[in-house]
Amino acid sequence: MTARFLRPLAAGVLLLQVVYVVVAEILLAVLLEDTSALDHTESPADGRLWLVLAEVAVVVLLLSGALLLAATGRAGLGQRVPGGLRRAVLGAVALVEGVVVAAVLLNITRQDFGPDVVLNVAMVVLSGTAGLLAAAEAVRTPLHTPDTDGRTAPGR
């Protein structure tokens, strides 16, 4: 497997994760009714706001990482993003994917063997690949972008 194959695969995995989160949120909002007012007297929106903001931040991060991984090695977006920002985004994507892999592995240990375990193993493999590739790209990315004459430009 070459990096030409793995980068689009990792970008696709990240996009699938974004689609999963968005579809799950839409389905939960449409199909489940809010019963928190029956159990609690405080406003249900207080804690929910932070959860929604965290989910939006993760979705934006994963989309950014998918774009950076898909554009790596090509002239265009991959070359226009400053090295420090690119490193930070890809490093954060690797961290998020590591958390996903850890959570899924923990979920596997708590289940009996069945179809869910098989899907979770596939998820570990795909998320692990995306996370490792994002981490490798983050480490390979120079902090300073080379200038047109080969020197590094510290301002870019």
Confidence of residue 98 (pLDDT cuts 50, 70, 90): very high
pTM comes to: 0.75
CA 69 to CA 72: how far, in whole Å? 5
In this prediction, residues 56-68 reach a mean pLDDT of 89
